[in-house]
Amino acid sequence: MQPEQRHAIEELVYRSCLALDAQEYTAFLALCTPDFRYAITTYSPELRREQVWLDHDRAGMQTLFTNLPRHNSDHSPLTRHATVYTVDLSGDAEANVVSALQVFRTQLDGGATELFAVGHFHDMVRLGGDAPKLARRAVRLDTRQLGYGYHVPF
């Protein structure tokens, strides 16, 4: 893999975090392919089974983003910190990317920041064209206790 290609893939992951941090959902979806799919999964040691906590195609994500402002939500901003660990090419057209994810929540009143969740992004990135795009994002959460929670996907 050429360093430029790796750099472009890393930048895609980081731009996706920045877009969601800023709640710029149109910008986030612009980083995704038309057949984009997003999921949040976790393993429950209590049930000893896998769990799916969110699973949407691109249209479902678009609808979710449209609906979010209609709901009551905690307004404390989230900050997603990703570190791209591995990038594995799958043929010429795709790459599988694993990134560590830490999500921080900053209280509006006083600005105290707390670690909110940890996990990994398992992204499938489609190469070619002007820039790489997200075709799949599976957020694999280690954190399963989210307090009073959050509406916005990680």
Partner 1 sequence: MSKNAAQWSAPPAFPTTHFVDSRVYTDDAIFEEEKEKLFRPSWIIACHESEIEAAFDYRLFNHPAGVPLIVIRGDDSKVRAFYNICPHRGNTILYDPAGNAKRMTCIFHQWSFDSRGNCIDISREEQGYQKRFCKADAGMREVKCEVAFGGFVWVNITDDCMSLREFIGGALDILEPYMVEPMEVFHFHKAHLRTNFKLWHDTNSEFYHDFLHYFNRITGMLQPGYFERRYTPFSNGHATVGSMQIQYDKYDGSKERAIGWPKMARGGWYMVDIFPGMTYNLRTSVLRIDTAIPLGPNEVVIEFRGLGLKRDTKEERDQRIFDHNMIWGPFGRNLHEDLLAVHGQGRAMRDGTDSRWVLQGREENSTIHDEVGMRHYYAEWSKRMGRPAYDPCREGKTEPVRAAA
Residues that bind partner 1 (CB under 8 A): 40, 44-49, 51-55, 60, 63-64, 66-67, 70-74, 144-151, 153
- Smallest distance, Å, CB 4 to partner 1? 35
Round to whole Å and give the CA distance between 125 and 137. 9
Least distance between partner 1 and beta carbon 59 (Å)? 8
Nearer to partner 1 by C-beta: 132 or 153?
Answer: 153
Cβ distance to partner 1 smaller for residue 64 or 89: 64
Minimal distance in Å, beta carbon 73 to partner 1? 7
Nearest to 152 by CA among 12, 38, 31, 32: 38
Look up residue 47 and give its two tokens: 């049930």
| Residue in 83, 106, 97, 86 with CA at minimum distance from that of residue 21 | 106
CB nearer to partner 1: pick between 60 and 77: 60
- Tokens 């906590």 correspond to 53
DSSP SS3 for 109: coil
The partner residues of 81 in beta bridges, in order of sequence, read 102
Nearer to partner 1, 24 or 55 (CB): 55
Contact 21, 103 (CB under 8 A): no
Q: How far is the CB of 53 from partner 1 (least distance, A)?
A: 5
